[in-house]
Amino acid sequence: MRSEVQSGVRLRRYAITAMAVIASLIVVGRITGILGDWLWFDSIGYSGVFRTILSARALLFTIVFAVSAGAIWLSGIVAHRYARGVDTSRAGAASQSDTTETTGDLSELVAPRVRWRLSIACAAVIVGLLLAATEISSWDIALRFVYQVPYGEHDPIFGKDISFYLFSLPAYVTLKNWLLRVVFCSVIVAGAVYGLRGDIALERPPRSLSPAAATHGSALLGLFFAVKAWSWWLDRFLLLYGDNGVVVGAGYTDVHIRLPVLWMLVGLATASAVALWVNMRWRSYRLPAALALLVFGSSFGFAVIYPALFQRFYVKPSELRLETPYIKHNIALTRQAYGLAQIAVQPFDAGQGLTLDSLQANRATIDNIRLWDVQPLMDTYAQLQEIRTYYKFLSVDIDRYQLDTGYRQVMLSARELDPAMLPANAQTWVNLHLIFTHGNGVVMSPVTEKSIEGLPSLYLYDIPPVATGGPAIHEPRLYFGEGGQDYIIVKASVAEFDYPKRKDNIYTTYSGRDGVAIGSAARRSLFAWQFDDPNILLSGYITDESRILFHRNIQDRVRTIAPFLTLDHDPYVVASKGQLFWVQDAYTVSRWFPYAQPGFGDGANYIRNSVKVVVDAYNGTVDFYVSDPADPLLRTYERIFPGLFKPFDAMPADLRQHVRYPEDLFLTQAQLYRTYHMDAPEVFYNREDLWQFPRELGAMDGGSAAITMPPYYTIMRLPGDARAEFVLMLPMVPSQRENMIAWLAARCDPSEYGKLIVYTFPKDKLVYGPFQIEARIQQNTGISQQISLWNQMGSRVIRGHLVVVPIENSILYVSPLYLRAASGQLPELKRVIAAYGDRVVMEETLDEALAALFKETTRAGAASPARGTVDARAREALAHYDRAIERLKAGDWTGFGTELDALRPLLEALGAGRSKDQK
């Protein structure tokens, strides 16, 4: 028996030791993480931000833990004190009268009480920790509540400033939910104590409930009803976020039925709470049961069933008349929440008056029509400019630069380092973290130009970057980028790989400002623990001057500093004054704007592009510039984090020239504007003028898949303006139709930045939409035959995106066409398709296509594309002939035969065309 007891004691000791070790590891992990983050924040100059967030999280955790654990412990101790089982008064009397009782007898009496108290305390601590860990993520809600600023507008139902909904209501709802969880956990702990002590017997008759349990239960249930009364009081404001299918926000039923019902439930729950606290003296278990049935039954009947019946049988038959005021609220506040009210509406005649002369007058627009799509261009960059396997182009960005040739739209991509592409036997710790540390340079090309071979004309290329028309770059190294960047250690005793040069390699040493010093053994140990990498501690390459760089992915870097901002999906690289920078658009968003339609991300119904973040690709410095100083969320964050945000004018002037309207915001606004351009409640209710995004053929082999047209950047001269500017635009078509009805543009240049304009077409005039133009291209026999011919000759045709180009008061359509060898990865821009009105042509270059398209009216019509097709066949035949001669000279008889086989059908087609013309 004694051995069994000793074994149990040993097992408890082992269990306690194991739990202590696990808890110690967790604590050490948290402490090292905090220390590492503090050193990193301090190294980049944002230690104040770190202290604010850490203090808020620690304070919130402490308060929630203390209150939660204290309330749960108190509930459990009260239950233990008054439950049946241990009579402390009798135990005390016995100890006074019987002095001969042994110490063992006394320990048998005291030990159960200690174990009970210890168990209750452990349960309270564990549950308190869980609740605190759950609520710690609400630190930003708490700070926004404390530092909130007024919005300046009021909701139409309760007349409260909208700041109440953005800042106060989320905090109240979070507090209410936490209190309900605390009360629920207190009930569970108390119920467990009473159940284990025999005060609650519900399993079999006779069922019983002790007076102590009834008293305690009445107190807790009364507390629950008090919190529930407050919850129903808050639910009045949550009516402004409902959706009945017609109105987003409070509708007629909400205002006239649900709102009075909620007031009734508030009063009923409050009265029930008072009655339950009075019942603590009566100790009846029937009254709590009756009140619970009354409250929850009333809630179900009056808050669920009655409004549903009222909506169905009273509101539905007269829905438009009754819901009209609330539809107006929904339209007005949704337009306000997404900035749609600032969209200017202008008419667009959509005439047919374009000529070659008018094209020349709009040369800035023509010279910047985008012929290169992102994926074909990235494939081409990869083949021509990755240089080595460990370099990679992760994305292609679109921007504009003031170059020697004028204001030009360009596409550019950063050449980043991907150590995972090193040979397997070269992926050593030294290579991955000490030697291969950074990418090098960017590739830049104009959106319209191409070489004779159909490849992009490069303004920036090679390593080190060579500038032929593009901006010179003096510091091309990219230590920070879009890739999944691991940590690196710079200023070690081994030099960093810089770039390859013929058979040799060039090496360098990082001289930038980023990095946390890790020369001391303590810091090396800290980061070895944090990154779970003992090599940091053991390596002999690390010196007293060494620094560790981490958070090198730019989005991870920005999110770590400002986790309260939502980031645009597409940061873009900018070459400015010989250096490389990343520009990241950041949003302030909320789910708490009243009466607004959710339309962004995870249910957000308010968004502002309030911040432009600039990250130095070499130094890693991060600057936050305010682009929307009127945003109340941003003004609140400015109060929370003084010194974090800088005024927009503080951004270097050269970088300000590259600020652009973010695509995610524009797409969200365009998505909502499809419906919310209708400001008349009757039209909105009937969806009479619903718009859609147009369809186009996908940029894929054969171009046969219909996809939704994405928005795109372009340089163009807006109607009525004197100069061309950089805009983000998207056409619109009517619902269930393909003709174009409007186009939406966001202006990007600094002088007019952020202004949105929608150009609407006359409703009595047919304007071909993108998918209708795609159909006309498909139906053009000359173009379709040529595409089929290429697809049969060992090549694959890739149809590029169709670009809608407004010029003056007319619409021009342009689409590139690429060829790629069946086994190759190098797309070549071979043809340009242009359409205007009823005419469609395909030529080798944009200028040739426009010249063919705008010939004199006597030669217009089908003759233009037919002539262009004949010329294209002739050129293709000549190209096959030249390649056949080259194969013959090289002794490649197989290649010679292949080229002759490809030449034959072209010559037959040309002969058939001539015979037809002669007839």
Q: What are the pLDDT digits (tens) for 430-459?
A: 999 999 999 999 999 999 999 888 999 999
Burial label, 259 (beta-carbon count in 10 A; 0-12, 13-18, 19+):
middle
**C-beta separation of 199 from 84 below 8 A:** yes
Residue-wise over 475-485: b if at least 16 C-beta within 10 A, else e? bbbbbbbbbeb
pLDDT of 868 reads: 46
Q: How far is CA 199 from CA 210, 289, 451, 840, in A?
A: 5, 17, 90, 89
> Around Cβ 373, how many Cβ atoms within 10 Å?
24
Instruction: Using the predicted structure, report yes or no on whether residue 206 has a pLDDT greater than 70.
Output: no
What band does 90 get if pLDDT is binned at 50, 70 and 90?
Answer: very low
Q: Mean pLDDT across the stretch 288-304? A: 92
Q: Mean pLDDT across the stretch 9-17? A: 65
Least confident range from 32-46, 142-156, 322-336, 686-700: namely 686-700
**Quick one: tokens of 154?**
């009021």
pLDDT of 440 reads: 96
Q: What is the pLDDT of residues 362-415, one digit of tens each?
A: 999 999 999 999 999 999 999 999 989 999 999 999 999 999 989 999 999 999
Question: For residue 657, what are the contacts with CB-CB under 8 A and spacing of at least 6?
Answer: 402, 750
Instruction: Using the predicted structure, report yes or no on whether residue 9 has a pLDDT greater than 70.
Output: no
Cα separation, 360 vs 354, whole angstroms: 10
Helix (H) or strand (E) holding 880: helix 863-889
What band does 135 get if pLDDT is binned at 50, 70 and 90?
Answer: very high
Q: Mean pLDDT across the stretch 552-571? A: 97
**C-beta separation of 328 from 701 below 8 A:** no
576 phi and psi angles, rounded to 5 deg: -140, 120
Cα separation, 861 vs 857, whole angstroms: 8
> Around Cβ 168, how many Cβ atoms within 10 Å?
17
pLDDT of 892 reads: 59
Residue-wise over 657-685: b if at least 16 C-beta within 10 A, else e? bbbbbbbbbbbbbbbbbbbbbbeebeebb
Range picked from 717-721, 831-835, 905-909 for highest mean pLDDT: 831-835
Cα separation, 134 vs 65, whole angstroms: 10
CA angle (238, 240, 241) in 5-degree steps = 75
Instruction: Using the predicted structure, report yes or no on whether residue 61 has a pLDDT greater than 90.
Output: yes
CA angle (403, 441, 367) in 5-degree steps = 30
Q: Mean pLDDT across the stretch 831-850? A: 93
In terms of Cα–Cα distance, which of 804, 712, 815 is closest to 767? 804
Q: Mean pLDDT across the stretch 336-356? A: 92
Least confident range from 99-108, 659-668, 894-903: namely 99-108
What band does 857 get if pLDDT is binned at 50, 70 and 90?
Answer: very low
Instruction: Using the predicted structure, report yes or no on whether residue 631 has a pLDDT greater than 90.
Output: yes
Q: Mean pLDDT across the stretch 572-585? A: 97
Instruction: Using the predicted structure, report yes or no on whether residue 841 has a pLDDT greater than 50.
Output: yes
pLDDT of 89 reads: 36
Question: What secondary structure letter does DSSP report for 578?
Answer: B
pLDDT of 862 reads: 38
**C-beta separation of 661 from 728 below 8 A:** yes
What band does 99 get if pLDDT is binned at 50, 70 and 90?
Answer: very low
What band does 97 get if pLDDT is binned at 50, 70 and 90?
Answer: very low
What value does the CA radius of gyration of the chain take, rounded to a whole number of Å?
Answer: 36
Higher model confidence: residue 873 or residue 568? Answer: 568
Instruction: Using the predicted structure, report yes or no on whether residue 908 has a pLDDT greater than 70.
Output: no
Least confident range from 94-103, 662-671, 838-847: namely 94-103
Cα separation, 633 vs 589, whole angstroms: 8
**Quick one: tokens of 632?**
């109340």
Q: What is the pLDDT of residues 704-728, one digit of tens each?
A: 678 899 999 999 999 888 899 999 9
426 phi and psi angles, rounded to 5 deg: -100, 0
Instruction: Using the predicted structure, report yes or no on whether residue 150 has a pLDDT greater than 50.
Output: yes
> Around Cβ 733, how many Cβ atoms within 10 Å?
23
Least confident range from 18-22, 505-509, 742-746, 818-822: namely 18-22
Q: What is the pLDDT of residues 693-707, one digit of tens each?
A: 999 887 554 446 788
**C-beta separation of 186 from 220 below 8 A:** yes
Least confident range from 230-234, 736-740, 800-804, 889-893: namely 889-893
% of residues, the chain, pLDDT over 70 = 86
pLDDT of 864 reads: 39
Q: What is the pLDDT of residues 249-289, one digit of tens each?
A: 999 999 999 999 999 999 999 999 999 999 888 777 788 88
724 phi and psi angles, rounded to 5 deg: -80, 150
Q: How far is CA 615 from CA 40, 196, 566, 622, 664, in A?
A: 16, 61, 16, 5, 20
Secondary structure in 3-state letters for 606-618: EEEEEEEEEEECC
**C-beta separation of 410 from 444 below 8 A:** yes
Q: Mean pLDDT across the stretch 39-49? A: 96
Which amino acid is it at 548? Answer: I
pLDDT of 542 reads: 96
Least confident range from 127-141, 514-528, 750-764, 845-859: namely 845-859
Helix axes 169-197, 47-82, angle to 10 degrees: 30
Q: How far is CA 834 from CA 807, 839, 840, in A?
A: 14, 8, 6
pLDDT of 846 reads: 93
pLDDT of 352 reads: 84
Q: What is the pLDDT of residues 749-776, one digit of tens each?
A: 998 999 999 999 998 888 999 999 999 9
Q: Mean pLDDT across the stretch 108-133? A: 83
Instruction: Indicate the pTM of the whole model.
Output: 0.87
pLDDT of 100 reads: 41
What band does 874 get if pLDDT is binned at 50, 70 and 90?
Answer: low
Cα separation, 784 vs 779, whole angstroms: 7
What band does 641 get if pLDDT is binned at 50, 70 and 90?
Answer: very high
185 phi and psi angles, rounded to 5 deg: -65, -35
Instruction: Using the predicted structure, report yes or no on whether residue 196 has a pLDDT greater than 90.
Output: no
pLDDT of 91 reads: 39
Place of tokens 């040309």: 910
pLDDT of 792 reads: 78
pLDDT of 211 reads: 84
**C-beta separation of 688 from 681 below 8 A:** no
Instruction: Using the predicted structure, report yes or no on whether residue 349 has a pLDDT greater than 50.
Output: yes
Q: What is the mean pLDDT of the chain?
A: 88
Q: What is the pLDDT of residues 226-245, one digit of tens each?
A: 999 999 999 999 999 999 99
Half-sphere exposure of 340 (CA within 13 A, CB side): 27
Beta-strand ranges (E) seen in 329-473 are 344-347, 391-393, 397-403, 406-417, 439-440, 442-446, 460-461, 466-467
% of residues, the chain, pLDDT over 90 = 70
174 phi and psi angles, rounded to 5 deg: -65, -45
Cα separation, 847 vs 852, whole angstroms: 9
In terms of Cα–Cα distance, which of 92, 288, 56, 75 is closest to 187? 75
